[in-house]
A = this chain, B = another copy of it.
């Protein structure tokens, strides 16, 4: 408790520090959960910054380990808005068997760069075949379509690649995020939070996802 309202404005109020750490504890408390899930999030040069990192942020809060994987030969990636991000590892060092979900952000040229990564494409097809979760947002669902995984499947994507999904037999849905079996798809940077929350819901149920959505004040 402060004794006086008058104080030196050049020095931070100690209460600011204390309350900030309370804030930190409250927003990350779920990260202490032991998760049965483990996500691999793939970053290519030109990936959309927020589509990629919102997933990492929300899964961290949900207590779901999320490894950021560069598809370059080093962990350094430059996103589509010229943000340099250092991923946790590079794809050549990844043991896919440690993971149960693969997540692809959109962005350009991030999406074609991911599509051109043959080792990743092979694993996307395998994960899908084995019933493990694959998720993509914005232009990246077109990769699933191009691999032949969306035929007869309800899916969402960026308006600019809708025809590609239709050409490959997808049932196009203009919702912020769509979960169809073990495939989650979403539409754009502005739907990155619903996309990430759909992944949380897939892993932990609706109640956990809603609680997290309220915690970050996406739902108010």
Which A residues have a C-beta under 8 Å from some C-beta of B?
Answer: 2, 5, 9-10, 12-13, 15-17, 19-24, 26-28, 48-50, 53-54, 56-57, 60-61, 68, 80-86, 106-109, 111-112, 115-116, 118, 121, 138-139, 142-143, 146-148, 158, 160-161, 163-164, 167, 174, 176, 187-191, 193, 213, 216-220
CB of A165, distance to nearest CB on chain B (Å): 10
CA of A83 to CA of B174, assembled, Å: 31
> Please, how many angstroms separate the alpha-carbon atoms of A61 and B160 in the complex?
17
Q: Are B54 and A24 in contact (CB under 8 A)?
A: no
- Report chain B residues within 8 Å CB of A24: 80, 107-109
- The residues of B that contact A9 with a CB separation of less than 8 Å are 146-148
* Residue pair A190, B218 in contact (C-beta under 8 Å): yes
Q: Shortest CB–CB separation between residue A148 and chain B, in angstroms?
A: 5
CB < 8 Å neighbour of A16 from B20, B164, B188, B219? B164
Shortest CB distance A28–B (Å): 8
Contact partners of A57 in chain B: CB under 8 A? 48-50, 81, 189
Q: Which residue in B15, B86, B167 is a CB contact (below 8 Å) of A164? A: B15
B54 touches A50 (CB 8 A): yes
Residue pairs across A and B with Cβ atoms less than 8 A apart, 26 shown, are A5-B167, A10-B121, A12-B112, A13-B164, A16-B112, A16-B143, A17-B112, A19-B160, A20-B142, A20-B160, A23-B161, A24-B109, A49-B56, A50-B54, A53-B53, A53-B83, A56-B83, A61-B81, A174-B220, A176-B220, A187-B217, A188-B216, A189-B216, A190-B193, A190-B218, A191-B217
Residues of B within 8 A of A50 (CB): 50, 53-54, 57
Q: Is the CB of B16 within 8 A of A161?
A: yes
Central interface residue in A80, A108, A188, A191, by most chain B CB within 10 Å: A108
Give chain B residues whose Cβ lies under 8 Å from the Cβ of A138. 23
